[in-house]
Chains A and B, each alone.
Chain A
Amino acid sequence: MKAKRLALLGLLTTIALIIFVVELRIPNIAPVPGMKLGLANIVTVYAVYHCTAKETALILFTRIILGSLFGGNMLALLYSLGGGIMCLLGMLLLRKVIDEKHIWVCSVLGAVLHNIGQIIVAAAVMQTAAVITYLPFLLVSGCVAGLLTGLCAQLLTSRINLNDF
């Protein structure tokens, strides 16, 4: 891996991390656990279309782990990882069938998979199926948030090309 490429990946990770930490500062008033905008995923969605699978995974997991450390909530890490893995795998497959002009669709479906992953982990950790009641509410908010982050990523795609650096 070239040093330049690594520096770029590090930069993307840092951007994601900053967005994540800033979002943490916004008081979360959602009545449903796990419901949030997830703006840091703008970077993830962008990376899915501009980096290799391995690179994207590295960016995502480093961000999730460092983000949990900064946020001081290690239990949230489990939920984020569960959602992140589902979302990442799904989007890496979807990029083969969805072209770059429709990144927002990929992002919405990624958010949906993220929510499903979160709920699976939550159900396993809490050992109750009760949390499944949250899924539809998470899905609705996830679709909206996914659309937003997807459109942001689309904006970036048309303006920034990693190969220019």
Chain B
Amino acid sequence: MKNAKLWIIVAAVIFIAAIVWCVIIITKPPGEIVTISQDGETLYTLDLSEESDRTITVEYEGRENVIEIKDGRIHMLEADCPDHTCINTGWLEDLPIVCLPNKLVIEFADESGADAVAR
């Protein structure tokens, strides 16, 4: 039986749940430990509160990403990928900065950034 109403409700629930999820992500206070990883491998683990202003260049298949740390914040300064979405993301806040073509991720670390866990 075709029951469109049911599916309208399903779509509405997904939409509302997605909004709630967005709000949860946005309201999360940012951390200070940042990891930069490429292809699933962590290249750098940085404590933004202790980092001095500098740029980091990461190479991938001849293409370059330039990451800038300034005033305890981090963002993608330059990328020679076609879409530049990672630059548009701006300073690292709620959403991880992702460069899809160069497989680069800048994100706040939680437990995964630790070398080991004391328990």
B is a partner of A: yes
Asked whether B95 lies within 8 Å of A133 as measured between CB atoms, the reply is yes
**Additional A-B contact list (19), CB under 8 Å, known A31-B88, A75-B101, A126-B39:** A30-B85, A31-B85, A31-B89, A33-B86, A33-B98, A97-B2, A105-B7, A106-B7, A112-B11, A126-B105, A127-B39, A128-B37, A133-B94, A135-B18, A136-B22, A137-B22, A139-B14, A140-B19, A143-B14
Asked whether B105 lies within 8 Å of A130 as measured between CB atoms, the reply is yes
Distance A72 CA – B15 CA, assembled complex (angstroms): 33
Given A32-B89, A105-B11, A112-B11, A140–B22 Cβ distance below 8 Å?
yes
Asked whether A94 lies within 8 Å of B7 as measured between CB atoms, the reply is yes
Distance A124 CA – B82 CA, assembled complex (angstroms): 21
Distance A135 CA – B4 CA, assembled complex (angstroms): 25
Q: Which residue of A lies closest to B93 (CB)?
A: A31
Asked whether A122 lies within 8 Å of B18 as measured between CB atoms, the reply is no
Asked whether B18 lies within 8 Å of A33 as measured between CB atoms, the reply is no
- Of the candidates A131, A137, A139, the one whose C-beta lies within 8 Å of that of B98 is A131
Number of A-B contacts (CB under 8 A): 110
Report if A61 contacts B (CB, 8 A): no
- Contacts of B95 on A, CB cut-off 8 Å? 31-32, 133-134, 137
Report if B27 contacts A (CB, 8 A): no
Report if A125 contacts B (CB, 8 A): yes
CB distance from B20 to the nearest CB of A (A): 8
Distance A134 CA – B22 CA, assembled complex (angstroms): 9
Which residues of B9-56 have CB atoms within 8 Å of chain A's CB atoms?
10-11, 14-15, 18-19, 21-22, 25, 37, 39-40
- Contacts of A135 on B, CB cut-off 8 Å? 18, 21
Asked whether B4 lies within 8 Å of A101 as measured between CB atoms, the reply is yes
CB distance from A98 to the nearest CB of B (A): 5
How many positions in chain B have a CB within 8 Å of any CB in the partner chain? 34
CB distance from B109 to the nearest CB of A (A): 10
- Contacts of A98 on B, CB cut-off 8 Å? 2, 4, 7
- Contacts of B25 on A, CB cut-off 8 Å? 133, 136
Asked whether A109 lies within 8 Å of B85 as measured between CB atoms, the reply is no
Given A97-B7, A140-B19, A130–B107 Cβ distance below 8 Å?
yes
Distance A109 CA – B25 CA, assembled complex (angstroms): 23
Asked whether A75 lies within 8 Å of B100 as measured between CB atoms, the reply is yes
Report if A1 contacts B (CB, 8 A): no
22 pairs of residues in contact across A and B, judged by CB atoms under 8 Å: A28-B83, A28-B85, A28-B88, A31-B89, A31-B90, A32-B95, A33-B86, A73-B82, A97-B2, A101-B4, A102-B4, A102-B8, A106-B7, A122-B100, A125-B103, A126-B98, A127-B39, A136-B21, A137-B22, A137-B95, A140-B15, A143-B15
